Amino acid sequence: MKRILLALLLLIATALPAAASLITIDFTFLGSAYAGGTNSAVVNGTIYFDSLLLSNPGLNTFDLTTPGGLAAVPYLTVTVTNSTGGVGDGTFTRSDFSQVIFDTSTSGLNMAQWTQLVGQATSSPSNNKWGTPDIIIPESSPPRSYTGDFQLVAAAGSPTAPTGVSPFQLGTNGGNTDGVQLTSMFITPEPTTYLLLCLSLGMVGLARKKLSKSA
């Protein structure tokens, strides 16, 4: 019994660093929110960021062709459905993208678990919320409604993957078919958190069993 408990403790200790640094985010882009709702395309995805390599506040541009970029974004999957004529539909992984752009704005974002990023307050001159699309970048003059950014850039070898066309907006089929706009970016507990919970419950169960036998 002692050996089992010790093994569980060691497993938890090994998993804790990963649990502490990884941020898991589920995101959705909708064609119905783009330019007055011109299409019904849906882009759903999940991305992991290493919080130790993520600037908040700040502009993060992760090059997925480099070891540093891959370390900062250890996981990415994107599924496109309902694109016009089915062109661009499919599931894409990290290897289908060359870059991830994530600008948390100059004011930063609350990135606690179970938190919605879209709609958070920013220091935008127009007082727009994070997630408000605008083609003007922060260095432009005069500043308009730029509040930050979240975009994916399709790799050259993946011409049908969705790719960024402007802040918070993607285009399906390599930017050639449907425009979609970010409507949700939600931080969820990453898998290691659930693993730790299960291990903790298992340890409690073993301890109770041992106590009942010794009573």
The number of C-alpha atoms within 13 Å of 179 and in the hemisphere containing its C-beta is 13
Q: What is the pLDDT of residue 165?
A: 93
- What is the structure's pLDDT at 189? 82
Higher-confidence residue: 3 or 124? 124
pLDDT at 13: 47
In 70-208, the DSSP E strands lie at: 75-81, 90-93, 97-103, 115-116, 149-154, 163-166, 169-171, 179-188
Predicted confidence (pLDDT) per residue in 45-101, tens digit: 999 999 999 999 999 999 999 999 999 999 999 999 999 999 999 999 999 999 999
Residue range 122-175, pLDDT digits in tens: 887 777 899 998 755 555 554 556 889 999 999 999 999 999 999 999 999 999
pLDDT at 127: 79
pLDDT for position 25: 97
Which pLDDT score is estimated for 213? 62
Of the listed ranges 19-33, 172-186, 196-210, the least confidently predicted one is 196-210
Single pTM value for the model: 0.81
pLDDT at 191: 56
Q: What are the tens digits of pLDDT across the range 6-40? A: 555 455 445 444 455 899 999 999 999 998 888 99
| Cα 9–Cα 14–Cα 18 angle in degrees, nearest 5 | 135
Sort strands 169-171 and 179-188 into parallel, antiparallel or unpaired: antiparallel
How far is 163 from 97, CA to CA, in rounded Å?
8
- DSSP conformation class of 58: S
Contact between 173 and 150 (Cβ < 8 Å) = no
Domain ranges in the chain? 24-192
- N-terminal to C-terminal alpha carbon distance within the chain: 16
More confident residue, 10 or 215: 215
